[in-house]
Amino acid sequence: MSLTGAIDEYMGPLLAGNRTACREFVMGKLDSVDGSVSLYEGLLWPAMERVEKLFRGDRINTAAEHMATRINRAIADQLQRALPKSDSIGKRIVIACADGEPEELGAQMCSDLFESRGWEVYFLGGGVPNDEILSLIGQLRPDILLIFGTQPGGVPGVRKLIDMIREIGVNPTMNIMVSGGVFNRADGLWKEVNADLMAKSAHTAIPIAEASKAKIPLPPTAGVPKKRRRRRRPRVAAAAIDS
């Protein structure tokens, strides 16, 4: 069942902040679509993107954006319980995001869907210092680090984090994926921050992550002189010099 028309119908009560109407509408669709995954990908995610676009275009105010985002997050919490549970696939992902409620919502939905697919998920949310992310990566050694929902002002911080991870080599086989936010709007920006993978949504992030292979650690940088070992003098020669 297509949810295109349902999105238009859902946006009215969502932007009005009508929690009850939104909850009843979504739960009423649960039996008529192919499970809660379809509602995540076909209703909540596009609704979240529409709210973000309307807010960036000054077509709704902060109050409407906050109410809509929190309603979507509350409904995502309810739908998460109905998501299918796949067997473990033996892969681990750490998910971080920008420090904002809309970004937290998108990252949370990514976390829920990855977990449903059998990934071992560690969801950090926003506002975690880079050194703590680095430390956690060293402890957990995940297959993927996903950074979601970066805003324009946060791009230098993302680049700094990625450079730090690369330079220290705390988990050299890990792939770094960026998704959402400014990376969805600026073509090629993900390459400029030195990420390995880019996905526009959770729907595309999962197959990209599952198809990715562990990075091959880079060899030492060419041209860097090796430290010369000090040669030991033969004992006889040393004795002759001393005498």
Q: What is the pLDDT of residues 118-139, one digit of tens each?
A: 999 999 999 999 999 999 999 9
Q: What is the CATH number of the domain that holds 64?
A: 1.10.1240.10
Q: Both 30 and 60 in a single domain?
A: yes
Q: How far apart are CA 202 and CA 39, in angstroms?
A: 13
Angle at 143 between CA 140 and CA 148, to 5 degrees: 95
Task: Based on the fold, state whether residues 55 and 150 are members of the same structural domain.
Answer: no
Helical spans, DSSP H, in the chain: 4-16, 19-29, 35-39, 45-56, 62-80, 101-116, 130-140, 155-168, 182-185, 189-192, 202-211, 235-242
CA atoms within 13 A on the CB side of 50: 17
Average pLDDT of span 157-162: 96
Give the per-residue pLDDT at 239. 44
* Residues 54 and 131 both lie in one domain: no
Question: 126 and 75 share a domain?
Answer: no
Residue 230 in domain: no
Start-to-end CA distance of the chain, whole Å, equals 97
Averaged confidence pLDDT in the chain: 89
Q: In this structure, are 40 and 108 located in the same domain?
A: no
pLDDT score, position 149: 93
- 234, part of any domain: no
Structural domain boundaries enclosing 123: 92-211
* In the chain, % of residues over pLDDT 70: 88
Query: Residue 173 pLDDT more than 70?
Result: yes
- Of 42 and 226, more confident: 42
139 and 76 within one domain: no
Q: Is residue 131 part of a domain?
A: yes
Asked if 66 and 105 sit in the same domain, the reply is: no
Q: What is the pTM of this model?
A: 0.86
- Residue at which a domain ends, from 80, 101, 136: 80
- The answer to whether position 44 is within a domain reads yes
Whether residue 99 sits in one domain with residue 54: no
Both 49 and 158 in a single domain?
A: no
pLDDT value at 186 more than 50 = yes
Neighbours of 38 (CB within 10 A): 16
Same domain, 50 and 100: no
Residue 155 forms part of a structural domain:
yes
**What is the per-residue pLDDT for 3?**
81
Examine the pLDDT at 103 and tell me if it is beyond 60: yes
Strand order in the sheet with 197-199: 120-125, 92-97, 144-148, 175-179, 197-199
Length of the chain: 243
Last residue of a domain, one of 59, 80, 101: 80
CA–CA separation, 80 and 65 (whole Å): 22
Say whether 239 sits in a helix, a strand or coil: helix
- In a domain? residue 71: yes
142 and 64: one domain?
no
Residue 144 token pair: 């993927």
Count of domains in the chain?
2
pLDDT tens, 45-93? 999 999 999 999 999 999 999 999 999 999 999 999 999 999 999 999 9
Mean pLDDT of 141-151: 96
Q: Write the CATH number for 158.
A: 3.40.50.280
Q: Do 181 and 104 share a domain, yes or no?
A: yes
Tell me the pLDDT band of 218, cut-offs 50, 70 and 90.
Answer: low
